[in-house]
Amino acid sequence: MLFRQAGIFHTNYAADRALFPIAADRWMIGILLAFGFAAPLLVNSLYLSSYLLPWLIWTAGALGLNLILGWAGQFHLGYAAVMGIGAYATVHATRAGIPWEIAIVLGGSTAAIIGIGFAFAALRVKGLYLALSTLALQFVMDWVISHVPAISGGTQATLQAPDIRLLGQPITSDAGLYYVALVWCILVTSFMLNLRRTALGRALIAVREKDFAAAVIGVNSFYFKLVAFSTSSFIGGVTGAILIGTFYHAVTPEQFSVDVSIQALAMVIVGGLGSIIGSYFGAAFILLMPGAMNSLISWAAIRFGFSLSIETLAHLPQALYGALIIGFLLIEPLGLGKIYNNVRDYLLVWPFGYVKK
Amino acid sequence: MKYLSIVAGLAWTAFTVMPATAADPMRFGLCYDLTKVYTFVTPQVAQAAKDYAELLNMKGGIEGHPVEMIVQDHGNEPQRGIECYEKLKRDGVMVFDMLSTPVSRAVLPRVMKDGNVLIQSLAGRGDAVDGDVFKWVFPVGPTYWGQAANDIEYIKQQSGGQLKGVKIAFLYVDYPFGQEPIGILKTLAAKEGFDLQLFPYPLPGNDQASAWTQIRRFAPNWIVSWSLSNMHVIASREMKRNGIALDKYIAVNWMNEIDIGNIGAEAAKGIKRGTNVAGGSNHPLIQEIIKELYDKGKGSGDRKNLEDVYYNTGLAIWSIAVEGARLAIKKDGWPLTPDKIKAGLESIKDYNANGMMAPVTVTAQDHGGGGKTRIEMWDGSKWVPQTDWIAAYKDDVLSVVKAQSAEYAKSDSQK
């Protein structure tokens, strides 16, 4: 119905290879983009700065993690550490007087270099062992930051981040910061969309499915694993830098602790491995749902007049949130992105459901 | 871009700005970690804040304005703390407390930029007592540096007025909270000539065995411990195992009646702690809360929490905040602004909430209120004060504070 395929003829290679061959997809993306760019006018500043902005940044982060986890199939439990490396490198670089545009590239590159250095050691093992050795990256980073005052910014372990300057213009308004995040998120998303139809993307998928089978057909799996690690670390590093520049305005080790790594992993898994729209859903779910549940429960408590103790009121949303994650993964183990795809697949051929079979 | 934000800002103001009326409550924002790391203290503090507000409202509020304590959970996650701050800020809250070091650090840049009052007692950066640099942050209460210095002063009193040759072990959990007092302790060791040795143990603090074996070899006269709640219980077990008497142990303020219960009330006899609030519920203020609220079934939580020293800590934090607001209304009148509240807080003088805590005097330069603490000893059933309220080595503590706040001022000016 909505996603009508009738009348779409691929008469040349470009049309055949289009990212979105179906008109409805293009419309939806157009509307979402228009909303994204108009958001500062449509949405009040609380929602803009406290929900939309972090959501976009974390989506970019989740996409970066999805590259290594969903595309290349390599576990990574230290993604927050990678983001932290990028953030610290960028903040130190800007404080040393390097323009922010160059500093984030430096931050991303530092993260990529450390990420790849770690990958050299880590990739000698596979699966759960790899997961544990990436977890080591997280703990090594935590320890280094809290024990090297030159990195952490003294005993208080907080480093004030200079304001973002683009082409010398300081960006301080909510709308300005939002656009920085939006542009980065769009960049990462289009990179990931296009990755699927490049040789690199196909090689990564081959490695994910079976690395020695990939080697048999001539894909150097070790090389592509390293590429995946460094690319995803670069995205992570820049995302970390943008998170600090637009949202936290100061960098501390706790912002990139092991809990945050687990959260990023949860975003990817709840959203769906290898799914781009799933990363958007996953980031929204993990990031915004606890707050939303909190408001819902407090609202319900006032509306229906049941009085709960402070602690129950705080724990109830957590329990509900946990139940929701379990519920969604029970309904669709492949994540929220897959739920969206199921709906889309159904509508694709509606009302002729038998076509699917 | 700038134009857009101005339009958005105008639209927002048009929606929200309404004239404040006299019946408007005075709102305080308690963004607390009620579910993850700080749960050993936050429920009691939040309960104390709510009880105190209830009691004030029964008496007509602050100078006629009802008090409202808004409690929200942030799960110790910086981004949820920021969300809580941003939301409550728009609801007209001007005084905030995060009671979590990571979250306090995360909201600090926003608080300083927006000009809202951040009460930040006992969690967050200690150098924020420097009111010249941290204009909007009020960590009323002792800094960890001041508290450590006061512990040394107590040891000095116990050792006959001099510390030459006294062996002091500093036991701490190896992350920023525990590392904080090291600098001041080293300074004091050089100055007073006592023998200081450091004994770190890793998070989460369940395994302190190696630290204690080393302490046994060192055979210290005193052990100063920077640990949190249950880590003290582990420490007491290790002390028993290593044959070290418990009365040498001076804990930081984070040790409460639950920990004593876990050690065993009888077994814990002689253990000491530094504190800025008097322990137990035998104070006029708590007795009043019991009489007016709990005896009538109107308390905000479990009655057994009233025996917990963290409840007293909460009362201390929030009675100071309320006192600041009261002075502000008295001086500059309703409606309040953050500027007025700041001025109110900075005019608090010798306030001790009816003998509940160390008297505090907040000034524009000293947002810590003097940093007085005392040493209390557990005698098997209650806490017995061992000293007066003291603030020792003020110059040394101040120089640590100044050095760190200057670092912040420098990094802030580079923005």
Phi and psi at residue A264, to the nearest 5°: -60, -40
**Are A248 and B80 in contact (CB < 8 Å)?**
no
Q: Is B125 close to A291, i.e. CB distance below 8 A?
A: no
Q: Residue B200 in contact with residue B211, Cβ under 8 Å?
A: yes
Q: Alpha helix (H) ranges present in B219-308?
A: 230-242, 257-263, 284-292
The strand pairing partners of B224, in sequence order, are B170, B250
Burial zone of B197 (CB within 10 Å; 0-12 exposed, 13-18 middle, 19+ buried): middle
Q: Tell if the CB–CB gap between A175 and B82 is shorter than 8 Å.
A: no
For B137-155, write each residue's pLDDT tens digit.
998 888 888 999 999 999 9
Which uninterrupted H or E stretch holds B195?
strand B195-201
Contacts of A180 (CB under 8 A, 6+ apart): A164, A166, A171, A242, A245, A246
Looking at chain A, the whole-number percentage of residues with pLDDT higher than 70 is 98
The shortest CB-CB distance from A41 to any of B7, B80, B301 is to B7
Chain B nearest CA to A11, separation (Å): 42
Alpha carbon distance B381, B71 (integer Å): 33
Q: Distance between CA atoms of B289 and B334, rounded to whole angstroms?
A: 27
SS3 B384: strand
Chain A positions in Cβ-Cβ contact with residue B47 (cut-off 8 Å): 310
Distance of CA A348 to the CA centre of its chain: 28
**Alpha-carbon gap: A156 to the closest alpha carbon of chain B (Å):** 6
Task: Look at residue B1 and tell me whether its pLDDT is greater than 90.
Answer: no
The position carrying tokens 């940093």 is B371
CB–CB contact B35 A314 (8 Å):
yes
What's the pLDDT score for residue B4? 47
Q: How far apart are CA B156 and CA B164, in angstroms?
A: 9
Chain B residues within 8 A of A51 when measuring between CB atoms: 83
* Three-class SS state of B29: strand
Is the CB of residue B69 less than 8 Å from the CB of residue B318? Answer: yes
Torsion angle of the four alpha carbons A131, A134, A138, A144, in this order, in degrees rounded to the nearest 10: 150
Distance CA B248, CA B224 (A): 8
Reply yes or no on whether the pLDDT at B229 is more than 90.
Answer: no
pLDDT digit string, tens, across residues A192-232: 999 988 999 999 999 999 988 999 999 998 999 999 999 99
Span A111-125, pLDDT tens digits: 999 999 888 887 888
CA distance B389 to A113: 54
- Interchain proximity B86–A315, CB inside 8 Å: no
Provide the shortest C-alpha distance from residue B86 to chain A (in Å).
7
Backbone angles phi, psi at B126, to 5 degrees: -75, -30
**CA proximity to A246, closest of A183, A192, A168:** A183
Shortest CB distance from A294 goes to which of B73, B113, B415?
Answer: B73
- Could B34 and A314 be called an inter-chain contact, meaning their C-beta atoms sit closer than 8 Å? yes
The shortest CB-CB distance from B404 to any of A155, A163, A179 is to: A155
Quick one: average pLDDT of B103-117? 90
SS3 string, chain A, reads: CCCCCCCCCCCCHHHHCCCCCCHHHHHHHHHHHHHHHHHHHHCCHHHHHHHHHHHHHHHHHHHHHHHHHHHCCCCCCCHHHHHHHHHHHHHHHHHCCCCHHHHHHHHHHHHHHHHHHHHHHHCCCCHHHHHHHHHHHHHHHHHHHHHCHHHHCCCCCCEECCCEEECCEEECCHHHHHHHHHHHHHHHHHHHHHHCCCHHHHHHHHHHHCHHHHHHCCCCHHHHHHHHHHHHHHHHHHHHHHHHHHHHCEECHHHHCHHHHHHHHHHHHHHCCCCHHHHHHHHHHHHHHHHHHHHHHHHHHHHCCCCCCHHHHHHHHHHHHHHHHHHHHHHCCCCHHHHHHHHHHHHHHCCCHHHHC
CA dist B109 and A244 (Å) reads 11
So what's the architecture of A42-349 in CATH?
A: Orthogonal Bundle (1.10)
Closest Cβ opposite residue A50 in set B5, B87, B108:
B87
What band does B174 get if pLDDT is binned at 50, 70 and 90? confident
Closest C-alpha among A235, A295, A312, A97 to residue B84: A295
Whether B369 shows a pLDDT value over 90: the answer reads: no
- Cα dihedral across residues A266, A267, A270, A274: positive or negative: negative
Report cis status (omega within 30 of 0) of the bond before B335. Answer: yes
- Chain A: residue nearest B74 by CA? A291
Checking phi first, is residue A125 left (phi over 0); if not, alpha (psi -120 to 50) or beta? beta
Nearest chain A CA: its distance from B245 CA (Å) = 32
Neighbours of B282 (CB within 10 A): 10
The confidence score (pLDDT) of residue B414 equals 65
The structure tokens 């697949």 sit at A345
Task: List the single range of A158-167, B15-24, B322-331 with lowest mean pLDDT.
Answer: B15-24
Task: Give which of B370, B357, B321 is closest to B147, Cα–Cα.
Answer: B370
- The one-letter code for the residue type at A55 is W
Residue-level pLDDT at B94: 92
Inter-chain residue contact A146 with B175, CB threshold 8 Å: yes
* Residues of A whose CB is below 8 A from B86: 46, 49-50
Chosen for mutation from A142, A172, A311 (greatest number of chain B CBs closer than 10 Å) is A311
pLDDT of residue B392: 87
Q: How far apart are CA B128 and CA B112, in angstroms?
A: 11
Q: For all residues of chain A together, what is the average pLDDT? A: 90
How far, in Å, CA of A201 to CA of B227, rounded?
50
The C-alpha R_g of chain A, in whole angstroms, comes to: 22
| Chain B residue at shortest CA distance from A158 | B105
Distance CA B99, CA A32 (A): 39
Identity at B283, one-letter amino acid code: H
**Which residues of chain B are within 8 Å of residue A49 when distances are taken between CB atoms?**
86
Which residues in chain A have Cβ-Cβ distances shorter than 8 Å to B110? 249
CB contacts < 8 A (A, B): 139
Q: Do B8 and A48 touch (CB under 8 A)?
A: yes
Cα A193 to its chain centre, rounded Å, is: 14
* Chain A residue with the nearest C-alpha to that of B15: A44
Q: Quick check: A252 and B5 CB within 8 A? A: no
Judged by CB atoms closer than 8 Å, whether chains meet at B1 and A173 is answered as yes
Q: Which residues in chain A are contacts of B106 at CB distance < 8 A?
A: 248, 250, 252, 255
Hey, are the CB atoms on B87 and A247 less than 8 Å from each other? no
pLDDT at B279 over 90: no
Query: Sheet harboring B137-138: ordered strands across?
Result: B67-73, B26-32, B95-97, B117-119, B137-138
CA angle centred on A115, ends A110 and A121, rounded to 5°: 135
pLDDT in tens, B293-350: 888 888 888 888 888 899 999 999 999 999 999 999 988 888 889 999 999 999 988 8
Among chain A residues, the shortest Cα distance to B5 is held by A175
Question: Which pLDDT score, from 0 to 100, does residue A278 have?
Answer: 95
The whole-angstrom separation of Cα B249 and Cα B379 is 14
For the segment B190-214, the average pLDDT, to the nearest whole number, is 91
| B233 contact partners, CB below 8 Å, separation of at least 6 | B259, B262, B263
CA nearest to A289 within chain B = B80
Burial B230-242 (b: 16+ CB within 10 A, else e): bbbbbbbbbbeee
What's phi and psi for A159, nearest 5 deg?
-120, 120
Residue A90 CA to its chain's centroid (Å):
19
Residue A3's pLDDT band, with cuts at 50, 70 and 90, is: confident
> Is-contact B272 B374, C-beta < 8 A?
no
Partners of B179 on chain A (C-beta within 8 Å) are 155
Chain B residue numbers with beta carbons less than 8 Å from the beta carbon of A307 are none
Cis peptide before A351, with omega less than 30 degrees from 0? yes
When CB atoms are compared, the residue of A153, A249, A318 closest to B35 is: A318
Mean pLDDT throughout A165-181? 91
Residue of higher predicted confidence among B115 and B175: B115
Assess contact for B222 and B209: CB atoms under 8 A.
no
Pairing of strands B374-378, B272-275: antiparallel
The per-residue pLDDT for A168 is 84
Nearest by CB: A252 against B5, B79, B106: B106
Q: Which residues on B lie below 8 Å from A176 (Cβ)?
A: 1-2, 5
| Residue A56: pLDDT band with limits 50, 70, 90 | very high
Average pLDDT for residues A268-273, to the nearest whole number? Answer: 93
Contacts of A303 (CB under 8 A, 6+ apart): none
* The pLDDT value given to residue A155: 63
Distance of CA A279 to the CA centre of its chain: 6
Average pLDDT, chain B: 87
